[in-house]
């Protein structure tokens, strides 16, 4: 058990180093000189050199990376080259909104997907099934900014029910309703295509489970449809769904960028884009590291969840 855990930790570290190194070197290769951006095109060369030294840009990229890595190991993620704010501070302002967006989006997606998939699988080829699968196709095919456009236009502009821009987001703990009002449209935008993926996955697995003998026997035992679907069919069918939820995390942060931009949410995605464009080595690399760690952690949690969902895995796995 502890050996297994140690092995996993080692792999995580290797992955983090690989990913952050690639990120750092790529950033260094991008054209543009932060010192020039800071002092302007006409700055005199001596001042530029001084600024580079102050920013630490005069040393080779590998040295700078190793230094960042060493600091990061002590939870010091450096400071922004321009605003001089600490990266930790930047993240604490940006993280909550993004985490909330992702969690709400995932929750919403699962809540939409599970009942619809159950309804669809009950009668494959039926009206509900065909409706759901066409709907899922549409949801998969719609670019998220187009969906946001539609939703904002309908609920924000035409009906005026919900704000189309997130501003001064209240804390979810102090003013949950006000918070939800603002986060609703962004979460729905994130959730709809996700739900489509989940519906398709779950429907296929439900159909496979439905052909198992124990479902036939449950029917033969006179159990009601609802009981059979929720108690007997759903759980053994959800391993792939659980995997997909885990696999999505990396991609989701990418998807969230567009949504954050659209709804003007000051989240990690926006911060990442701006820090890459602005060659903010520390900020960008830290965010990338955070994402990698999250992906690996979520997948570890998923592995544990597997065992809860399906006892057959318990013996073979941990």
Partner 1 sequence: MPGSDRSRRFPWLAWAGAAWIALLVITALLAPVLPLRDPSAKGIRTGEVGRFESPGWNAWFGGARQGEDQLARVVAGIRPALVLGLVVTLLGALLGGVLGVAAGYLRGRLDRLAVGFIDAALAFPVLVLVIAARAAFGASLVVIIAIFTAASIAPYARLVRGATLTLAERDFVVAARAMGATRRRILWRELAPNLALPLFSFACLGFAVVILTEGGLSFLGLSVHELTWGQLIAEGAGEIRHHPHVALIPATVMFLTVMAFNLVGDGLGQLGGRRRPVTVQRQRTGPPSPDAPGPLPAPLSIRNLSTVLHTATGDVMAVDDVSLEVAAAEVVGLVGESGSGKTMILRSIVGAFPVADVSRNGSVEVDGVDVLRGRAEDVQRTLGTAVGMISQNPLTALNPVRRIEHQLTEPMTVHGGLTRAAARRRALELLDQVGLTDGARRLRSYPHELSGGMRQRVTIAVALANHPSLLLADEPTTALDVTIQEQIVTLLARLQDERTMAMVFVTHDLALLGEIADTICVVYGGQIVERAPAAELFRHPRHRYTVALLASRPDPAAPSHTPLAVIPGHPPVPRPDDRGCRFAPRCPAATAQCREERPPEVVDGTHHVRCWHPRGDDEPA
Site for partner 1 in 181-210 (CB under 8 A): 204, 207-208, 210
Q: Contact region for partner 1 (CB under 8 A) — 18-26, 46-54, 83-91, 177-185?
A: 18-26
3-state secondary structure of 62: helix
C-beta of 22 vs 111, nearer to partner 1: 22
CA nearest to 260, candidates 140, 97, 147, 80: 97
Identified binder of partner 1 from the candidate list 95, 258, 303, 305, rule CB under 8 A: 258
Calpha distance 150→268 (Å, rounded)? 24
Distance CA 306, CA 243 (A): 8
Q: Which of 36, 261, 266, 300 binds partner 1 (CB under 8 A)?
A: 261
Q: Tell me how far apart the alpha carbons of residues 96 and 101 are, in angstroms, rounded to a whole number.
A: 8
Helices 239-263, 144-151: crossing angle, 10 deg rounding: 60
Binding track over 103-132 against partner 1, x by CB under 8 A: ------------------xxxxxx------
User: 282 to 301, contacts with partner 1 by CB under 8 A?
Assistant: 284, 288, 291-292, 295-296
Residue 181 neighbours by CB under 8 Å, 6+ apart: 162, 163
41-49, 51-59, 178-186, 252-260 -> range binding partner 1 (CB under 8 A): 252-260
Among 63, 138, 264, 301, binds partner 1 (CB under 8 A): 138
CA angle 93, 96, 100 (to 5 degrees): 155
Q: By C-beta, is 38 or 122 nearer to partner 1?
A: 122
User: Residue 125: left if φ>0, alpha if ψ -120 to 50, beta else—which one?
Assistant: left
Identity of the residue, 178 or 236, whose beta carbon is nearer to partner 1 in the bound complex: 236
Q: How far is the CB of 231 from partner 1 (least distance, A)?
A: 8
| Residue 246 CB, nearest approach to partner 1 (Å) | 10
Whole-angstrom Cα distance, residue 196 to residue 139?
Answer: 6
Quote the least distance from Cβ 250 to partner 1, whole Å.
6
């Amino acid at each position: 058990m502890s050996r297994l855990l140690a092995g996993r930790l080692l792999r995580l570290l290797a992955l983090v180093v690989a990913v952050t190194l690639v990120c750092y070197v790529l950033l260094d290769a991008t054209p543009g000189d932060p010192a020039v951006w800071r002092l302007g095109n006409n700055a005199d060369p001596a001042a530029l050199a001084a600024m580079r030294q102050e920013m630490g840009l005069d040393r080779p990229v590998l040295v700078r990376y190793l230094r960042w890595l060493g600091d990061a190991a002590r939870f010091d993620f450096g400071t922004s080259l321009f605003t001089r704010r600490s990266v930790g501070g930047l993240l604490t302002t940006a993280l909550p909104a993004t985490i909330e967006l992702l969690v709400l989006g995932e929750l919403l997606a699962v809540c939409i997907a599970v009942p619809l998939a159950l309804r669809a699988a009950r009668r494959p080829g039926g009206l509900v099934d065909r409706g759901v699968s066409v709907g899922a196709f549409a949801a998969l095919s719609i670019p998220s900014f187009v969906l946001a456009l539609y939703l904002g236009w309908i609920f924000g502009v035409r009906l005026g029910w919900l704000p189309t821009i997130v501003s001064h987001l209240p804390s979810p703990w102090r003013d949950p309703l006000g918070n939800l009002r603002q986060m609703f449209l962004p979460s729905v935008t994130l959730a709809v295509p996700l739900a489509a993926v989940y519906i398709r996955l779950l429907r296929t697995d439900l159909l496979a489970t439905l052909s198992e003998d124990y479902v036939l026997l449950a029917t033969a035992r006179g159990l009601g449809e609802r009981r059979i679907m929720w108690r007997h069919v759903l759980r053994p069918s959800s391993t792939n769904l659980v995997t997909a939820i885990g696999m999505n995390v990396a991609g989701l942060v990418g998807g969230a960028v567009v949504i954050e931009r659209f709804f003007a949410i000051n989240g990690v995605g926006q911060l990442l884009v701006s820090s890459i464009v602005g060659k903010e080595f520390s900020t960008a690399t830290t965010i990338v590291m955070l994402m990698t760690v999250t992906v690996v952690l979520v997948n570890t949690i998923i592995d544990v969840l597997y065992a809860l969902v399906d006892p057959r895995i318990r013996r073979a796995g941990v």
